[in-house]
């Protein structure tokens, strides 16, 4: 034993037990049983309050995981004091009062019309219970004195408000709580709009009252389907009750119209993160300073699209109803989750509000050259409006909705809503590159593993869409405003093959073709039948206009006359025969025509006049074969050309009959002028 102890004490290679009773591995790495290193005890210096940590960095300032998570996010603070209305001096209100004013405004928006007060609101995600409860107690708990008759389960609960969340926050909400929400390989948020994958125009209604009865366009050809005030209030109550029954609602306060003198404040209350992110992208996003002074909105949308309307309610023909009340400045959505209803609903509102200010609202694309020359592009689906208005040599003001005021043109929206079917990097590089983090992708199909989108897949719908902020387009002009347009370009894809590739229009002709809104679609190829079908949409957007088309056309002609703009009709369709016999006009030729319009070269060209439509066509354009400029030259069968021309002229005449009952000008002289600008035979 003595020899053993001596050997052990003299060898630093062995493991020992010291007086401290603590174990450690010896320096010699001596091998014990089973090949494991022997354990050696060492005295270690410790203090009772030391926290175990990695010596390579300073310890975190947290004692629990919850505290650590709270350090991860810092609060966004207001940046601008609020001006006092009674004093020129600035003063700062507390964050608590600011939040209280904000919630009171939202509560007023969500108030039932049968009760004296709005719902009890608290800011924040209900999932964060500890944080939310603290806010309720100390900041946002309002004890409303509601009458006894109004007591219900909903009046005893709080509704959490998720207010103007950022895209990142909305991603988290969508991924966590909304089935069918995924992040694609490029970072976009893929969502589903439910059973409805497009707008429901037959379920859209407008309240007809003493004012709108005289102001709006009603009857044959009009998109406005009437409903009464009482029915609107029933649907509003249904939507508001549904939203108030939820644990949380999303609220967006944003703007429409980039012209600061004529912008509209809009509030969108919705139940889905998808809807909130969609409108975040499509409306103009306020700065923190603007949001602090937002106040009461000019218009409010109640999107309860997950909840159906009551089929027994008067005027209801399905479980879907999109209702506009222009007097109350409100819109109610029931029974459809398709986000485009909100975008186009607000466009309809602008078609009503802006003309009251002598501002023309337009369904058009708009771009501007480096010298400040602005062009408007009108055209229905398939005419090339998006392709031709997106020009890397020009700035994009907007792709869809605009206003023309005394200040010039301005985009109504803050984003783009692009079709995605068959999208490719080669055909539409700007749209392709815009589909990244923050973009909403509607109803697309993607690989379940890689999350790469297959834009050719129509399994859900052919109407796949991408909604993204306009600044995602590299040559977007910010702010999205420009001077008065020099050129107004009306695009038509004439599958009959009888309209010239380009023609210069008089003011009366511009009004006639603007009201007509013509293009032609190919019907199909069943059993070898290939026949084009004429499509007319007043003002190139009949589904969204509120007033009679002639009112918008008159405003357009007045502004063109006042500011020296020229009207053009550009055919991007067929030449040398109708669809099936002729061929489509080459895109390269159409681009040369558009370039000649922008440069002013076409104003200096020599012109001849066509039969029937009386269109002025140039005799030559640089880079375009002269023989295609007059369509009769490209048809081998001249009789077939004249027959087809007369057939199309007849379709124009039949379509225009619905507009003849509206008289414009002294003794209807302008109506006669417009009519005379159409086909004559």
Question: For 353-380, what is each residue's pLDDT tens digit?
Answer: 999 999 999 999 999 999 999 999 999 9
| Active-site annotation holds for 386 | yes
Cα–Cα distance for residue pair 352/328, rounded to 1 Å:
13
According to DSSP, residue 586 is labeled P
Which residue did the predictor score with more confidence, 412 or 1?
412
CA angle 245, 250, 255 (to 5 degrees): 135
Q: What is the 3-state secondary structure (H, E, C) of 28-46?
A: CCCECHHHCECEECCCCCC
| Active-site annotation holds for 179 | no
| Mean pLDDT score, 654-658 | 93
| Active-site annotation holds for 506 | no
Domain 162-359+405-472 fold: Phosphoenolpyruvate Carboxykinase; domain 1 (3.40.449)
Q: Which residues contact 136 (CB under 8 A, 6 or more apart)?
A: 122, 158
In this predicted model, what pLDDT tens digit does every residue of 40-72 receive, in sequence order? Answer: 555 555 444 544 444 455 666 677 777 766 777
Q: Which of these is catalytic: 166, 211, 296, 381?
A: 381
Cα–Cα distance for residue pair 226/219, rounded to 1 Å:
10
- Quick check: 82 pLDDT over 50? no
| Active-site annotation holds for 385 | yes
| Mean pLDDT score, 78-103 | 59
- Strand-pair partners of 485: 374
Domain 484-677 fold: Phosphoenolpyruvate Carboxykinase; domain 3 (3.90.228)
In this predicted model, what pLDDT tens digit does every residue of 657-670 receive, in sequence order? Answer: 988 877 665 556 67
Cα–Cα distance for residue pair 143/165, rounded to 1 Å:
26
**Any idea which residue has 């991860």 for tokens?**
72
pLDDT category of residue 31 using cuts at 50, 70 and 90: low
The torsion defined by the Cα of 622, 624, 626 and 627, in degrees rounded to 10, comes to 180
Query: Which regions of the chain carry the CATH code 3.40.449.10?
Result: 162-359+405-472
Q: Which of these is catalytic: 203, 400, 430, 494?
A: 400
End-to-end CA distance of the chain: 130
Mean of per-residue pLDDT scores for the chain: 86
| Active-site annotation holds for 465 | yes
Measured in degrees and rounded to the nearest 5, phi and psi for residue 678 equal -85, -170
| Active-site annotation holds for 328 | no
In this predicted model, what pLDDT tens digit does every residue of 483-539 receive, in sequence order? Answer: 999 999 999 999 999 999 999 999 999 999 999 999 997 644 234 435 788 999 999
301: left (phi over 0), alpha (psi -120 to 50) or beta: beta
Predicted pLDDT of residue 666: 59
CA angle 348, 380, 358 (to 5 degrees): 40
Q: Which of these is catalytic: 120, 160, 199, 351?
A: 199
- Quick check: 471 pLDDT over 70? yes
Question: Is residue 513 classed exposed, middle or buried when 0-12, 13-18 and 19+ CB atoms within 10 A define those classes?
Answer: buried
| Active-site annotation holds for 128 | no
Predicted pLDDT of residue 150: 42
| Mean pLDDT score, 527-553 | 87
Q: Which of these is catalytic: 123, 285, 344, 551?
A: 344
What percent of the chain is predicted at pLDDT more than 90?
A: 70
- Quick check: 569 pLDDT over 70? yes
According to DSSP, residue 538 is labeled G
Query: Which regions of the chain carry the CATH code 3.90.228.20?
Result: 484-677
| Mean pLDDT score, 271-280 | 98
| Mean pLDDT score, 442-465 | 96
| Mean pLDDT score, 474-479 | 97
Predicted pLDDT of residue 662: 72
In this predicted model, what pLDDT tens digit does every residue of 282-300 receive, in sequence order? Answer: 999 999 999 998 999 999 9
Which residue did the predictor score with more confidence, 60 or 342?
342
| Sign of the dihedral through C-alpha 507, 213, 263, 411 | negative
Cα–Cα distance for residue pair 397/409, rounded to 1 Å:
9
In this predicted model, what pLDDT tens digit does every residue of 126-147 receive, in sequence order? Answer: 887 544 444 443 333 333 333 3
Cα–Cα distance for residue pair 505/510, rounded to 1 Å:
6
Q: Which of these is catalytic: 120, 123, 465, 548?
A: 465
């Amino acid at each position: 034993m003595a020899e053993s102890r001596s050997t052990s004490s003299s060898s630093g290679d062995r493991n020992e037990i010291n007086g401290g009773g603590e174990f450690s591995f010896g320096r010699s790495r001596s091998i014990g049983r089973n090949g494991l290193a022997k354990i050696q005890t060492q005295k270690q210096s410790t203090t009772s309050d030391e926290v175990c940590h990695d010596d390579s960095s300073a310890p975190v300032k947290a004692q629990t995981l919850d505290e650590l998570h709270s350090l991860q996010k810092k609060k966004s603070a207001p940046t601008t004091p609020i001006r006092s209305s009674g004093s020129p001096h600035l003063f700062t209100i507390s964050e608590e009062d600011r939040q209280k004013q904000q919630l009171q405004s939202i509560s007023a928006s969500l108030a039932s019309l049968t009760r004296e007060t709005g719902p009890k609101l608290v800011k924040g995600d209900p999932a964060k219970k500890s944080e939310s409860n603290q806010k309720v107690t100390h900041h946002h708990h309002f004890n409303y004195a509601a009458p006894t008759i109004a007591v219900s389960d909903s009046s005893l609960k709080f509704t959490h408000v998720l207010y103007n969340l950022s895209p990142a926050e909305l991603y988290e909400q969508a991924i966590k709580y909304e089935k069918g929400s995924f992040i694609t390989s490029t970072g976009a948020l893929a969502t589903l709009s439910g059973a409805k994958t497009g707008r429901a125009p037959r379920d859209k209604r407008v309240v007809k009252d003493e004012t709108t009865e005289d102001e709006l366009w009603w009857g044959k050809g009009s998109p406005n389907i009437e409903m009464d005030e009482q029915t609107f209030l029933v649907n509003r109550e249904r939507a508001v009750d549904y939203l108030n029954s939820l644990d949380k609602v999303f609220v967006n306060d944003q703007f429409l119209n980039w012209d600061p003198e004529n912008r509209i404040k809009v509030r969108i209350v919705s139940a889905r993160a998808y809807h909130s992110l969609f409108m975040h992208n499509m409306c103009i996003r306020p700065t923190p300073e603007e949001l602090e002074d937002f106040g009461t909105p000019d218009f409010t949308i109640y999107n309860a699209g997950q909840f159906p309307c009551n089929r027994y309610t008067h005027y209801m023909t399905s479980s879907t109803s999109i209702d506009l009340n222009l007097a109350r400045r409100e819109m109610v959505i029931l029974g459809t989750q398709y986000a485009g209803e909100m975008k186009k609903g607000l466009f309809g509102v602008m078609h009503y509000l802006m003309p009251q200010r002598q501002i023309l609202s337009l369904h058009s694309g708009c771009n501007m050259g480096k010298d400040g020359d602005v062009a408007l592009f009108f055209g229905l689906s398939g005419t090339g409006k998006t392709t031709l208005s997106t020009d890397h040599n020009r700035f994009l003001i907007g792709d869809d909705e605009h206003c023309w005021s005394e200040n010039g043109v301005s985009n109504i929206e803050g984003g783009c809503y692009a079709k995605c079917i068959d999208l490719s990097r080669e055909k539409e590089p700007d749209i392709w590159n815009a589909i990244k983090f923050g973009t909403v992708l509607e109803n697309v199909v993607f690989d379940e593993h890689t999350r790469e989108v297959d834009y050719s897949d129509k399994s859900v719908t052919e109407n796949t869409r991408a909604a993204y902020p306009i600044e995602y387009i590299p040559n977007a002009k910010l702010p999205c405003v420009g001077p008065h347009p020099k050129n107004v370009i009306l695009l038509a894809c004439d599958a009959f093959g009888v309209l010239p590739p380009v023609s210069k229009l008089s003011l009366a002709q511009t009004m006639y073709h603007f009201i007509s809104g013509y293009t032609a679609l190919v019907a199909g190829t069943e059993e070898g039948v290939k026949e084009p079908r004429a499509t007319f949409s007043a003002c190139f957007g009949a589904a969204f206009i509120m007033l009679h088309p002639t009112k918008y056309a008159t405003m357009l002609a007045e502004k063109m006359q006042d500011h020296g703009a020229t009207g053009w009709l550009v055919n991007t369709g067929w030449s040398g025969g109708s669809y099936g016999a002729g061929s489509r006009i080459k895109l390269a030729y159409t681009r040369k025509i558009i370039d000649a319009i922008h440069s002013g070269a076409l104003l200096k060209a020599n012109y001849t006049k066509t039969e029937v439509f009386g269109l002025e066509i140039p005799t030559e354009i640089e880079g375009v074969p002269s023989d295609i400029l007059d369509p009769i030259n490209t048809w081998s069968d001249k009789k077939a050309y004249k027959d087809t021309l007369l057939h199309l002229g007849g379709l124009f005449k039949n379509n225009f009959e619905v507009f003849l009952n509206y008289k414009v000008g002294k003794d209807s002289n302008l109506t006669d002028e417009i009519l005379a600008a159409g086909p004559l035979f």
